[in-house]
Structure 1
Amino acid sequence: METVKIVLQLIVGLGILNVWLLRFNKKTSYRGAEASNMKAEFKAYGLPEALVYLVGFIKITLALMLLAGIWFKSLVNPAAIGMAAMMLGAIVMHLKIKDNFKQIIPALSLLIICLAIIWL
Structure 2
Amino acid sequence: MEYFIIALKAVVAISLLNVWLLQFNKATKWRGGNAQNMIEEFRVYGLPAWMCYAVGFFKVTLSLLLIASIWYPNLENIAAIGLALLLSGSISMHIRIKDPMFKSIPAAIFLAMCLIIAII
> Same fold by TM (over 0.5)?
yes
Partner of 1:44: 44
Q: In structure 1, what residue type is equivalent to 2:94?
A: H
Shift of 1:102: 1.1
Alignment correspondent of 1:113: 113
2:56 aligns with: 56
Gaps of 5+ in 1: none
Residue 16 (structure 1) aligns with: 16
TM-score, length of structure 2 as denominator length: 0.98
What's the offset of the Cα at 1:27?
A: 0.2
Extract unaligned runs of 5+ from structure 2: none
Q: CA RMSD in A?
A: 0.5
- TM-score, scaled relative to structure 1: 0.98
Q: How does 1:34-113 map to 2 (within 5 A)?
A: 34-113=34-113
One-letter code aligned to 1:83: L
Amino acid at match of 1:69: S
- Displacement of 1:108 after TM fit? 0.5
Q: After TM superposition, what 4+ stretches of structure 1 lie above 6 angstroms from structure 2?
A: none
The sequence identity of aligned pairs, in percent, is: 49
Deviation at 1:10, TM superposition (A): 0.3
Q: Secondary structure at the match of 1:33?
A: coil
